[in-house]
Amino acid sequence: MKHFFIILTLFSSILFASDITIAVAANVSYAIAPLKKAFEEVYPKTNVKVIHGSSGKLTAQISHGAPYDLFLSANMKYPQHLYEANLTLGKPVIYAQGALAILSNEACDLKKGLAVFKDASIKKIAIANPKTAPYGVAAKEALEHAKLYTLLQEKFVYGESISQTVIYATSAADVGIIAKSSLYAPQMLHYKEGTQWVDVNASLYTPIDQGMVILKRAKEKPEAKAFYDFMLGKRAKEILTSYGYKVP
């Protein structure tokens, strides 16, 4: 029996001794380092390479043959598109649900919610591009429901991805609508809830269901399935929750 377990351990080490490449939506870039670390603690022989970008841009790359094994999208639309194009090993699953937040460089009256954007002192507002970033779609929807989108359009500074939007919100703009998850990154912890950031009213936008798929090129890579299963497991859910996500 002892020999059996030794053989099984050696087999497992060989089985998961490879590299995998994961395309990760920009909003997940803040949580991916601890997720990667936790996975590699279980599978130390597997090296996880991460490619960041907007969900739209990553989908285009995958459609044109980019060598990715898994795709963690910021919505369900893009992985569903890949599934319908027969580029995945199955339908997308929801691994997390994201949220929007308002971020201000200076302390201001965030009790107003999105209405604070109408203040004369607000000259530039950073939001993600709705054409490439699901969080941009949600931001636009929230602003439209608040009857502010058309009114404020001339103030918008668009980021290609939500991570670029965070950069704009903290540098080139006065305020921004960002992924709540970004506020849990170490470099963002100095922003104070209630005075520099606040949740966007969740009733103003459709819940941001984030989808995951294994891509067909990973058919012979059990490591890819292992990471997929890890993302749906308890440890990954704990990490995602600590970054402001809701998990299924």
What span, in angstroms and rounded, lies between the C-alpha atoms of 93 and 81? 13
- Enumerate the β-bridge partners of residue 159: 128
Reduced to 3 states (helix: H, G, I; strand: E, B; else coil), residue 167 is helix
The reply to whether 99-204 shares the fold of 2-97+208-242 is yes
pLDDT at 2: 46
Classified by CATH at the fold level, domain 99-204 comes out as D-Maltodextrin-Binding Protein; domain 2 (3.40.190)
Residue entry with tokens 């399935």: 225
pLDDT band at 230 (very low <50, low <70, confident <90, very high): very high
Q: What is the DSSP letter of 220?
A: T
Q: Which architecture, in CATH terms, is 2-97+208-242?
A: 3-Layer(aba) Sandwich (3.40)
pLDDT band at 45 (very low <50, low <70, confident <90, very high): very high
pLDDT at 132: 86
pLDDT in tens, 10-44: 444 444 458 999 999 999 998 999 999 999 999 99
Buried b (16+ CB within 10 A) or exposed e, 118-136: eeeebeebbbbbbebbbbb
Residue 7, pLDDT above cutoff 70: no
Reduced to 3 states (helix: H, G, I; strand: E, B; else coil), residue 227 is helix
pLDDT at 17: 57
pTM of the complete model:
0.84
What span, in angstroms and rounded, lies between the C-alpha atoms of 122 and 125? 7
- The pLDDT of 51-79, averaged and rounded, is 96
pLDDT at 108: 82
Helices (H), the chain: 2-15, 32-42, 55-63, 77-84, 134-145, 149-152, 162-169, 222-231, 234-242
Who contacts 107 (Cβ-Cβ below 8 Å, separation ≥6)? Answer: 192, 195, 196
pLDDT band at 218 (very low <50, low <70, confident <90, very high): very high
- The pLDDT of 46-54, averaged and rounded, is 95
pLDDT band at 109 (very low <50, low <70, confident <90, very high): confident
Q: What is the DSSP letter of 49?
A: E
Structure tokens at 142: 């929230």
Domain boundaries, the chain: 2-97+208-242, 99-204
- Enumerate the β-bridge partners of residue 101: 178, 199
Residue 8, pLDDT above cutoff 80: no
Reduced to 3 states (helix: H, G, I; strand: E, B; else coil), residue 222 is helix
Sheet containing strand 19-25, edge to edge, reads 47-53, 19-25, 70-72, 208-214, 93-98
Strands 19-25 and 47-53: parallel
Q: CB of 72 within 8 A of CB of 236?
A: no
Phi-psi region of 244 (alpha: psi -120 to 50; beta: other; left: phi over 0): left
What span, in angstroms and rounded, lies between the C-alpha atoms of 135 and 132? 9
